[in-house]
């Protein structure tokens, strides 16, 4: 097979000349192709068959031990002008970057098959969807891309019609961390990734295309590509609100998107549209609408069980690829947080010794088709997307940030998102648990200068057309008391907070004006049936003026790092918070 598109054909030929594969395979996305790839990987040892009685069509992949997470220090945005990439990105001059990485691609696929994967991010017939082609020498990438994107013939047909697509070149190379780079050339709609087989570095449709390149395209075309889950909340009266929520990696987006309503909220239903990425457009009526560009989940496994996320737990019992989990004696996948079973082999395939680190890697993952989610929304395939009632920002904050507050308006909401901070997690290589600013949860993913990105957000909100923009909220499920215990139960109980949010969207309840935004009245947040004393709720819903003054200073210093490109409106918003804090202090 090949293509009728001359530019695509030329690019594939050029790549083959550079990388020297033994053969070229154009992926059509069929079941037969998938089965053949899995068979070949079972033979080569790239996949291990899991217990087919308990986990039909489930496989385990063990990655190289040095290749288990995203590598932000090796991820570059290569724009002609360094300022366009901004202090939030590592930058390299595009000419130098191509030279450097092409040197690593030279002959990299010798003896291997080169796979050409046409894919579409978003419903195949959606005007908001965008296509790409990934060339890779990893069959593991092909089978994962088939779950995560609309991949194969239908995508190729659209690519041939549109003649505009993102070019992604990937090789696992020799997996040497010293020869690993993830490079983005937004001006050329091009990605080059070498030396890693890990999801975020290798499944180029996900972070590289749907966030870094798409955020650049989105600014040029007037929309937003965001690190946001997308879910529907249906009340017992049958009204459904759609909410998009940005949290940093491994902060519970998948769990929230698949939330199971608590027993105290009968009649509520949750619908998942996406668990990681949303593309948002203002429509002709001024309504913000969203699609999920992905079609599967690449989720963190540890902690997943019937209680924390029974929908995810159920969907990963079959047709799932596990990466870096542990194994029981009868070849079932095992991870920390599972209620049953005993690991005998750890994620590296070594005999498991308790006390010698976790059995499953903390960033071990499942890859599964979204169709297996029992609460997958039928509207996830709607070409026009869903209307958004509320945007949520949230981080993992031991202190300072209350359980929930509402921004005063869109511009203030942009400040709330820009000032977001969170403790780092295992999703990226580096120290864990350190608080860092992570604007809109996009620190590792914005493909251009954050200062320009904040301006773009502000501009979207001030457009003549933006009459029905959603409300913006900040949530924090992770507050801890003095003894390090979580103060809020989280998981399904988060629906109590989401209900307050939808009540606010419907104008049903008033809220308390504070210097940082609007907080719930205690009586409007239902905590009946929770084992929580009133003083805990009091703390969760109050603000410490001293701590917030420090927070404002820290945000101000953070904005300074972005220099003169920072929109003055954002600084004005921050001054507004500082002034209100002073006024409250004086009163
Ligand atoms: C992810 C991440 O894999 O954010 O979704 O790292
Ligand atoms: Mn993510």
pLDDT in tens, 292-345: 999 999 999 999 999 999 999 999 999 999 999 999 999 999 999 999 999 999
Q: What is the pLDDT of residues 415-472, one digit of tens each?
A: 999 999 998 888 788 877 788 999 999 999 999 999 999 999 999 988 767 678 999 9
How remote is the CA of residue 391 from the centroid of ligand 2, in Å? Answer: 16
Nearest-atom number in ligand 1 for the CA of 248 is 4
Q: Which fold has domain 296-372?
A: Phosphoenolpyruvate Carboxykinase; domain 2 (2.170.8)
pLDDT at res. 464: 63
pLDDT at res. 11: 98
Q: Which CATH class is domain 6-46+74-221?
A: alpha beta
Token duo for residue 154: 């239908």
Bridge partners (DSSP) of residue 514 are 517
Q: Domain boundaries in the chain?
A: 6-46+74-221, 226-294+381-586, 296-372
Show which residues are catalytic: 251
CATH (residue range 226-294+381-586): 3.90.228.20
Q: What is the pLDDT of residues 550-586, one digit of tens each?
A: 999 999 999 999 999 999 999 999 999 999 999 998 8
Ligand 1 close to Cβ of residue 200 (< 6 A): yes
How remote is the CA of residue 56 from the centroid of ligand 1, in Å? Answer: 26
CA neighbours closer than 13 Å in the CB half-sphere of residue 326 = 25
Instruction: Count other Cβ atoms within 10 Å, centred on residue 529.
Output: 12
Q: Above pLDDT 90, what percent of the chain?
A: 93
pLDDT at res. 576: 98
Alpha helix (H) ranges present in 30-125? 31-44, 82-85, 94-105
How far is 10 from 17, CA to CA, in rounded Å? 11
In this prediction, residue 2 has a pLDDT band, given cuts at 50, 70 and 90, of: confident
Q: Pick out the residues of the known binding site for GTP.
A: 250-255, 365, 396, 491-494
pLDDT at res. 1: 66
Q: What is the pLDDT of residues 474-521, one digit of tens each?
A: 999 999 999 999 999 999 999 999 999 999 999 999 999 999 999 999
Mean pLDDT is highest, among 65-69, 108-112, 282-286, for 108-112
- Chain centroid to CA 549: how far? 31
Nearest-atom number in ligand 1 for the CA of 365 is 3
The phi-psi region of residue 225 (left if phi > 0; otherwise alpha if psi is between -120 and 50; otherwise beta) is beta
Q: What is the pLDDT of residues 78-114, one digit of tens each?
A: 999 999 999 999 999 999 999 999 999 999 999 999 9
CB 425 within 8 A of CB 51: no
Q: Pick out the residues of the known binding site for Mn(2+).
A: 207, 227, 276
Q: What is the pLDDT of residues 355-375, one digit of tens each?
A: 989 999 999 999 999 999 999
How remote is the CA of residue 23 from the centroid of ligand 2, in Å? Answer: 33
Of 123, 130, 59, 170, the closest CA to residue 370 belongs to 123
Nearest-atom number in ligand 1 for the CA of 227 is 4
pLDDT at res. 140: 98
- Gyration radius of the chain's alpha carbons: 23
CB 194 within 8 A of CB 19: no
Q: What is the pLDDT of residues 174-208, one digit of tens each?
A: 999 999 999 999 999 999 999 999 999 999 999 99
Cα separations in angstroms, 278 against 101, 147, 215: 30, 17, 11
In this prediction, residue 223 has a pLDDT band, given cuts at 50, 70 and 90, of: very high
User: What separation, in Å, do the N-terminal and C-terminal C-alpha atoms of the chain show?
Assistant: 75
């Amino acid at each position: 097979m090949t293509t009728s598109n001359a530019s695509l054909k030329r690019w594939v030929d050029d790549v083959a000349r550079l990388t020297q594969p033994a053969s070229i395979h154009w992926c059509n996305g069929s079941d037969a192709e998938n089965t053949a790839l899995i068979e070949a990987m079972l033979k080569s040892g790239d996949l291990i068959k899991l217990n087919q009685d308990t986990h039909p069509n489930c496989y385990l992949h063990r990655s190289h031990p040095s290749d288990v997470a995203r590598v932000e220090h090796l991820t570059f945005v290569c724009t002609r002008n360094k300022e366009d990439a901004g202090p939030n990105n590592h930058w390299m001059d595009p000419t130098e970057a191509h030279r450097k990485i092409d040197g690593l691609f030279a002959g990299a696929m010798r003896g291997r098959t080169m796979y050409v994967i046409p894919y579409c991010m978003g419903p195949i017939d959606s005007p908001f969807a965008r296509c790409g082609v990934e060339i890779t020498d990893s069959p593991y990438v092909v089978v994962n891309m088939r779950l995560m994107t609309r991949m194969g013939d239908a995508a190729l047909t659209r690519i041939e019609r549109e003649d505009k697509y993102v070019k992604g070149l990937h090789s696992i190379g020799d997996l040497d961390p010293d020869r690993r780079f993830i490079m983005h050339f937004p001006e050329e709609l091009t990605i080059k990734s070498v030396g890693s087989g890990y999801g975020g570095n290798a499944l180029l449709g996900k972070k590289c295309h749907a966030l870094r390149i798409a955020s650049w395209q989105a600014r040029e075309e007037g929309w937003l590509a965001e690190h946001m889950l997308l879910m529907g909340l249906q009340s017992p009266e049958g009204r459904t609100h759609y909410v998009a929520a940005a949290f940093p990696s491994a902060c519970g987006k998948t769990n929230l998107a698949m939330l199971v309503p608590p027993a105290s909220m009968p009649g509520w239903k949750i619908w998942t549209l996406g668990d990681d990425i949303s593309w948002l457009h203002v429509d002709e009526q001024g309504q913000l609408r969203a699609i999920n560009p992905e079609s599967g989940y690449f989720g963190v496994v540890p902690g997943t069980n019937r209680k924390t996320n029974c929908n995810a737990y159920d969907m990963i019992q079959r047709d799932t690829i596990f990466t870096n989990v542990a194994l029981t004696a009868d070849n079932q996948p095992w991870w920390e947080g599972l209620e049953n079973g005993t690991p005998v082999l750890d994620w590296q395939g070594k005999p498991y010794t308790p006390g010698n680190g976790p059995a499953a890697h903390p960033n071990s993952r499942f890859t599964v088709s979204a169709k297996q989610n029992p609460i997958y929304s039928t509207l996830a395939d709607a070409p026009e997307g869903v209307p958004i009632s509320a945007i949520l920002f949230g981080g993992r904050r031991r202190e300072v940030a209350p359980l929930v507050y509402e921004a005063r308006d869109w511009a203030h909401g942009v400040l709330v998102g820009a000032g977001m901070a969170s403790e780092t997690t295992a999703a990226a290589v580096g120290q864990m648990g350190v608080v860092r600013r992570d604007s809109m949860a996009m620190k590792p993913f914005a493909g251009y200068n954050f200062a320009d990105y904040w301006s773009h957000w502000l501009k979207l909100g001030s457009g003549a057309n933006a009459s029905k923009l959603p409300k913006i909220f900040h949530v924090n499920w992770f507050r801890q008391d003095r003894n390090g215990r979580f103060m809020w139960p989280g998981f399904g109980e988060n629906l109590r907070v989401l209900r307050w949010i939808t009540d606010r969207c419907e104008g049903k309840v008033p809220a308390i004006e504070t210097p940082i935004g609007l907080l719930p009245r205690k009586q409007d947040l239902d905590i009946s049936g929770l084992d929580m004393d009133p003083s805990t709720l009091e703390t969760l819903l109050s603000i410490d003026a001293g701590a917030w003054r420090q927070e404002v200073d820290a945000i101000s210093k953070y904005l300074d790092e972005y220099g003169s490109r920072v929109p003055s409106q954002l600084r004005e918003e921050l001054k507004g918070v500082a002034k209100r804090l002073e006024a409250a202090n004086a009163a």
